[in-house]
Amino acid sequence: MDLIPAPVSSVRLPDQDFPLDRTTTLTAPPELAGAERWLRSSLTAATGLPLAPGRPGEGVELLLDATLAAEAYRLSVRPGHAVVTAGGPAGALWGAQTLRRLLGPDAYRRAPLRPSGWVLPGLDLTDAPRFGWRGVLLDVARHFLPKSDVLRFVDQLSAHKLNVLHLHLTDDQGWRVEIKRYPGLTERASWRERSMVGFRSAQRRDDRPHGGFYTQDDLREIVAYAAERAVTVVPEIDLPGHTQAAVAAYPELGNTDVVDTGALGVWTDWGVTENVLNPSEATLRFFEGVLEEVLEIFPSEFVHLGGDECPKEQWKASAAAQARIRELGLSNEDELQSHIIRHFDRWLAERGRRLIGWDEILEGGLAPGAAVSSWRGYNGGIAAARAGHDVVMCPEQHVYLDHRQAAGEREPIPVGFVRTLEDVYRFEPVPAQLDEEAARRVIGTQANLWSEFMDSARDIDYRAFPRLAAFAEVAWSALPADPAARDWAGFERRMAGHLEVLDALGVEYRPADGPHPWQTRPGVVGRPIDGPPPAV
């Protein structure tokens, strides 16, 4: 069976197939009840088979082996007995996902197409991930995505053994998380009057109000749903830049001695605005209040606080900000931003959490316990890893999947670097310049989907897939470190079968021969910024 992502090893045993029928059982110990529940629900819906609980040693069985790593598993299929042996609940879920894939594309449907003919191929398989952080950023701030579509996206991640959903909840263009002590963040900051169409084409507006937000219970539901599928949701609350929506709701958060913050609205442009938070103690207290509620919703070890693209012009012009720099004994505005990041690094650490931010948090001095999302190429991640900080590699030149998948005017809003399916497959997260000790600091990798040009689940499908399947293999499988040595022809062959899985899941991926007709939008201009990725 051609699997994506590829397992560590797999041996096909042609005479050991296991046909499933209405007497086939599914059994698991209490520790693996979540994976058992997910597998029964998924397979019963697709096959119509009841998969009732049975006795150990028969049917489909999930077992626990504490000698395995938490996400590792073994899968053995023999006539009458298929066993997933896992190191923990996550490993059991990944083994269950592989078992589902072995039944073919129709196992991904929500209703049975046939009453019989479900066969698990005989095999012995061992598997474990290369990286512990296999993430995807979903930007719901620029364009709000309804909860049902977020849950559907979680299913897509889990099916590809991706285990982190980085949920970008706040930005200049919208605030998407309910904070009960600050109701203005959803009453005022969650809606903008209109949106820009295309990139750097300010004369084009759709003139439709856009917005929405998730209640705290919505987010708890997303977190719980993801956890059932071995996916951790990491929230991002941007600061001190990318905060105009918050300032529009609470003008005192802005630099009031420089700009009339009371006149600001939720931003209707893309790009980077100069309207950033003021650095006062009152602002820090405000965001501590925000984060107190965020921590109650999200149990993740990491909390992402952005820290990127914070223009310093208002701080330079603000007498209050300059007084703050002197009061704190800082040298410049970069150190002022670092002070804010360090403050929240300590604040999170006191509550048993860890801060992660974009690589700009290196500027002015990196907070001691902070981890870095390296997006501006590899250099930030290299510097952070060498300094002993954990790193998630997500360079925009390689894994920003909102960027176009081919050259030419047919691509919708052709912004960014051209990165084909093969380009993503040949992405290597660990730079060769790192020695063995520093390389261990690369805890994972992440693909990012920024939503300026994606206003629906259909758009997300088109830009994410099939490239996200290639990224999943990069993040999970033990591929050669030399991208040129990877078996692209073999992956391309396996992808042909995997497209049938995406079809069954209802994913509107980009066809190999070009965009869907609905994705062709004449007159919507982009700004190609193509160029070669920086050398690793």
**Model confidence pLDDT, tens digit, residues 257-274:** 999 999 999 999 999 999
In degrees and rounded to multiples of 5, residue 496 shows phi and psi of -60, -40
Annotated catalytic residue: which of 31, 293, 309, 363?
A: 309
pLDDT band at 1 (very low <50, low <70, confident <90, very high): low
Judge whether residue 535 has pLDDT over 60.
Answer: no
The most distant pair of C-alpha atoms in the chain lies apart, rounded to whole Å, by 79
Annotated catalytic residue: which of 160, 168, 210, 242?
A: 242
More confident: 450 or 1? 450
Residue 503, token pair as written in the block? 């079809």
**Model confidence pLDDT, tens digit, residues 501-532:** 999 999 999 999 888 777 765 444 444 555 55
Count of Cβ atoms closer than 10 Å to residue 310 Cβ: 28
Residue 210 bears catalytic tag? no
Question: Whose CA is closest to 340, among 302, 374, 378, 312?
Answer: 312
Report whether the peptide linkage leading into residue 50 is cis, meaning its omega lies within 30 degrees of zero.
Answer: no
Residue 171 bears catalytic tag? yes
Rg (CA), the chain: 24
**Model confidence pLDDT, tens digit, residues 306-341:** 999 999 999 999 999 999 999 999 999 999 999 999
Annotated catalytic residue: which of 171, 333, 423, 473?
A: 171
Q: What is the pLDDT of residue 368?
A: 79
Q: What is the pLDDT of residue 91?
A: 98
Judge whether residue 20 has pLDDT over 80.
Answer: yes
DSSP assignment of 217-272, as one string?
HHHHHHHHHHHHTT-EEEEEEEESSS-HHHHHH-GGGS-TTTS-GGG--S--SSS-
Reduced to 3 states (helix: H, G, I; strand: E, B; else coil), residue 175 is strand
Q: What is the pLDDT of residue 375?
A: 97
**Model confidence pLDDT, tens digit, residues 355-410:** 999 999 998 778 778 999 999 999 999 999 999 999 999 999 999 999 999 988 78
Residue 333 bears catalytic tag? no
